[in-house]
């Protein structure tokens, strides 16, 4: 059994959004097309409380892109984004919501970020995605969505580490590219870990 994982295809990651990814909207038609080929489609949704500690606004004197220590973990500071219940947190218009079987929300704990759809950044708590895939008898996942260098990357790395056959579709991902080369590095890292990049 194989599943399609749609990673964070939400308004705030699209052009004009709070944490806009260049050409982020271009993953939408790819996602819609691929949905037809998979018996199970799971979407992850970045879903932060409004005072989430990954927001630069919660760290007076610090700015977006700086790295701080959060409970012993390096944390990149982001603009306020994907606040629970906000317009920015909604799935992209144009994404075929009827094709989505399950939604997994992440980043809900104010104290820790969660790039991966499986675990928070400290691997302290599970989001329920692993259990869901196990229950559904999934052994193979394919990923599309945002962002290549953060949530796609860490979700794919966790998926292979969990023993799932994992692929990422290049035309269906786009990245933040905080530093030039971040996306290329992420793709290299995924490949080296055993992710099939197609
Ligand atoms: C993401 C940064 C912060 C992502 C989420 O979806 O890649 N990146 N929150
Ligand atoms: Zn986030």
Query: What pTM does this model have?
Result: 0.98
Give the total residue count for the chain.
198
pLDDT the model gives residue 38:
98
Residue 82 is among the residues annotated as catalytic for this protein: no
Count of beta carbons in the 10 Å neighbourhood of residue 136: 14
171: three-class secondary structure by DSSP: strand
| Ordered domains of the chain (ranges, CATH) | 2-51+81-197 (3.40.50.850)
What is the block-wise mean pLDDT of the chain (198 residues), using blocks of 10 residues?
99 98 98 98 98 98 97 97 98 98 98 98 98 98 98 98 98 97 98 98
**Token code pair at residue 90:** 């909604």
* Contact between residue 84 and residue 49 where contact means Cβ atoms under 8 Å apart: yes
| Cα–Cα distance, 120 to 106 (Å, whole number) | 8
Q: Find the 194 Cα to ligand 2 centroid distance in Å.
A: 25
Residue 150 Cβ < 6 Å to ligand 1: yes
Helix ranges, 24-78 (H): 27-35
- Counting ligand 1 atoms within 8 A of each CB, the residue from 117, 146, 178 with the most, and so the one to mutate, is 146
């Amino acid at each position: 059994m194989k599943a399609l994982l749609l990673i964070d295809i939400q308004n705030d990651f699209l052009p004009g959004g709070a944490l806009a990814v260049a050409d982020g909207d271009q993953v939408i038609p790819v996602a819609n097309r691929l949905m037809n080929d998979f018996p199970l489609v799971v979407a992850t949704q970045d879903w932060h409380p409004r005072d989430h500690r990954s927001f630069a606004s919660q760290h007076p004197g610090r700015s977006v892109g700086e790295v701080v220590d959060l409970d012993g973990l390096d944390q990149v500071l982001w603009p306020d984004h994907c606040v629970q219940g906000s317009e920015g947190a909604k799935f992209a218009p144009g994404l075929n919501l009827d094709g989505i079987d399950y939604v997994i929300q992440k980043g809900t704990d104010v104290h820790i970020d969660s790039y991966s759809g499986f675990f928070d950044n400290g691997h302290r708590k599970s989001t329920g995605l692993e259990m869901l895939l196990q229950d559904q008898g999934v052994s193979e996942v394919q990923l599309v969505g945002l962002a290549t260098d953060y949530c796609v990357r860490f979700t794919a790395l966790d998926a292979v580490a969990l023993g799932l056959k994992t692929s990422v579709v290049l035309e269906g991902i786009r990245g933040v590219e905080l530093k030039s080369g971040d996306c290329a590095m992420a793709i290299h890292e995924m490949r080296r870990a055993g992710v099939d990049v197609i």
